[in-house]
Structure 1
Amino acid sequence: MAKNFKDKVREQFSRTAESYVRSPSFAQSDDLAEAARMLQPTCDDILLDVACGGGHSALYFAPLVRSVVASDLAMQMLKKAQEFISEEGGVENVTFREADAEDLPFPAGAFTLLVCRIAPHHFPDVPRALEEFHRVLRRGGRMVIIDTLLADEPHIAEFQHNYEKLRDQTHIRAFTQTEWEQMVVDAGFILHETTVQKKTHDFQEWAKRSGLSRDEVQQLNKMFIEASDEIQDFFQVETFAGEVETFTDNKVLISASRPPKKSPQAGNK
């Protein structure tokens, strides 16, 4: 499944790269400031941006660190991210590398910081990706993962999965906070902090960003309109004249680090 699926991911995000680069939802968001608070970057840090998308995270962190490597599975997305960062100007410490999050082409311990933003729900094997994050981080290196948070309530989670899949067939699944924390610990990280932020989406921009046709957007709109009052309340769905204007979901931010190397004294005790 993985190879064929990843080809599909490349195709999807190559086709929609420009809309992701220009999306205000990615460019203007409080999650990057929160991620910076968690990571505490310094001018000595080397940061890996996994599944960099339009390059917004790389651009945000570039002035705060020594260098950034922006990686993505889709070469066309990387090209658009490079164009975007070049257009913004003032940043000369970002390099770009085609890379699979589950098989990163970097040596062990190559980075002191890592960020992965709104991408893991597209990964076929998130635990494998976390193992790779652990490998490429230096001992004591810090990581922040940001992604869509799955609701704890099964019927709401099912609705969430269905609308995400209808919008983008490369969506695999989101995870609950408990699931995320367990996966991070299982991968060998020290879990430091988990926070949740609400994010309000302009429905039309959100739907069209993934390349949906007009009929597909209307099908997605109908799904929200016909949802139960409980689900509409949970996602704070705002409508006008039978059209969804906005809805709000939750994003989880997870801060963790690779354990530091034990001192010889500690090992002899």
Structure 2
Amino acid sequence: MDLKNDVQNQFGKSADSYVSSTIHKDGKDLVKLREMASIIGEETLLDVATGGGHTANAFAPYVKLVTAVDLTPEMLTAAEKFIKGNGHRNIDFVQGDAENLPFPNEGFDIVTCRIAPHHFPNVKKFVEEVHRVLKKNGQFLLDDNVVPEEDDFDLFYNTIEKWRDYSHNRAWKKSEWLRMLEMSGFEIYEWHRFDKIFRFDPWCNRMNLPQDEKEKLAEYMKGASQKIKNKFKIVIEADEMISFQGEAVVIKAIKR
């Protein structure tokens, strides 16, 4: 089974929990993403890997038309219910692959993608596709979890994410994102870094991690070096894994 089938299976089972997930619906990163956009109200916007639809929902009142695309039909169904429940009607929902977008060249003024590229098997192909479907001087608003530049920290974070969610591919370093974007023809316009607190139980439960694997993962994290515990601010109380801290970036890149 390839990674894209894994993604469909995982998110098909978890669609409703992603709509209600606090970290997805209430993140300050989503507010920043909206603030970074240059919008006059006539734009067409493509939200790639829309997931629970939070980004599409946030932008719908401000643009002319939103197209929400996702690989997983169940996610699109959940997103449509959520967004239309909020009264928005200027949204189309399309099943499609982020690495092979089913849209013509230069069809959108803005492309957004939030908390998703770490699932993509070929993230460079995704970036190239975003560049293709954007109009000249179009805006790419990217938001995803990243890893620190130090390799030990990179390995730890990607290990625990893959353990918790087999559809996880890789969280990239900030430097890797900047390079990929510039090498694909984008100009980095603005970017911000955020801390993200992950509560261990909801983080595991959102991906339906079996209890025995959850316990093994907790032991792995509790057994990490002090350097890693300090970096990720791992909180353990009464020998129970409580939380840890990751990071995300939001980037505005312009197609030149």
TM-score range, shorter chain: over 0.9
Match of 1:138 in 2: 135
Q: 1-side partners of 2:31 and 2:206: how far apart?
A: 23
What is the CA-CA distance between 1:90 and the residue it aligns to?
2.1
> Of 189, 205, 212, which aligns to 1:192?
189
The gaps in structure 2 that reach 5 residues or longer are: none
- The reply on whether 1:110 has 2:102 as its aligned counterpart is no
Q: What secondary structure is seen at the aligned counterpart in 1 of 2:147?
A: coil
Distance in 2 between residues matched to 1:45 and 1:98, nearest whole Å: 21
Name the residue aligned to 1:179.
176
The residue correspondences of 1:158-173 to structure 2 (distance < 5 A) are 158-173=155-170
Q: Please name the residue that 1:263 is paired with.
A: none
Displacement of 1:71 after TM fit?
0.6
State the Cα distance separating 1:62 from its structure 2 match: 0.7
Q: Secondary structure at the match of 1:16?
A: helix
Q: CA deviation at 1:214?
A: 1.5
The gaps in structure 1 that reach 5 residues or longer are: 260-269
In 2, Cα distance between equivalents of 1:40 and 1:223: 44
Question: Partners of 1:236 and 1:109 in 2: how far apart?
Answer: 43
Moved over 2 A (4+): none
Residue in structure 2 matched with residue 57 of structure 1 by the alignment: 55
Which amino acid letter does the alignment assign opposite residue 69 of structure 1? T
TM normalised by structure 1 equals: 0.92
- Calculate percent identity across the aligned residue pairs: 38
| Structure-2 separation of matches of 1:222 and 1:59 | 38
Query: Which residue among 48, 66, 69 is the counterpart of 1:68?
Result: 66
The residue type paired with residue 74 of structure 1 is T
Provide the rounded CA distance (Å) in 1 between the counterparts of 2:151 and 2:179: 19
Structure 1 distance, partners of 2:184, 2:51, is 24
Code of the aligned partner of 2:46: L
User: Alpha carbon RMSD of aligned pairs, Å?
Assistant: 1.2
> For 2:182, what is the secondary structure of its paired residue?
helix
Structure 1 letter corresponding to 2:223: E
Alignment check: 8 A CA contact 2:34 2:58 kept: no
Separation in 2, partners of 1:126, 1:134: 13
